[in-house]
Chains A and B, each alone.
Chain A
């Protein structure tokens, strides 16, 4: 079974600074997808960024980028130019090609301070 670990329960960053959230996972699969979801106080789950394991190039979406290290089974999220609206819970998630289920980490609560 796959497991996803987020070792930082809480983090904070000053507005306009850069912050990196960590995620590691354990799997015997070779083909899979990785995701970062954002959950603001509204409780809605919002997809931030995704990475396909067979792609070596790290995914980027505006101020959000990932550092995907397949051999190390690491998938960190970097948020540049942090904004107050980035304050939220962030969940790392794993989904294998041949399995519809998605496994989530415990989450990191990020606070952006003015």
Chain B
């Protein structure tokens, strides 16, 4: 049982470049989300999805796109990277019928934009 798998673990981008952070889960969770973690600010929600074909914005969606074509995968796309997007990114998932169990997190991606 792999849980939530995020790739890559580390990435350095130049300003203006685009890239996709991958997230996959094998627990058949309906809910998936992306957070960014910045010092002193905790984790802030970027985008989330409650099922294939359904996505919505969180607190800090600007500069990011998502899609959910399958239950398992929820990629996060940076359209034109900016230094302000330097952060640690977490993907998380949960079952909609077990809200009280919290999230299962991926191991995170440390992204640096230079």
Contacts and interface: CB of A to CB of B under 8 A. Distances in A.
Interface of A: 4, 6, 9, 33, 35, 37, 42-45, 47, 50, 52, 91, 93, 95, 97, 100-107
9 contacts: A43-B88, A47-B102, A47-B103, A50-B102, A93-B102, A101-B45, A101-B48, A103-B45, A107-B42
A102 B108 CA distance: 17
What secondary structure prevails in chain B residues at the interface with A? strand
B43 A95 contact: no
B42 A91 contact: yes
Nearest to A35: B102
Contacts of B41: 106
A9 B40 CA distance: 8
A31 to B, nearest CB: 10
B43 A104 contact: yes
Interface in B8-38: 31, 33, 35
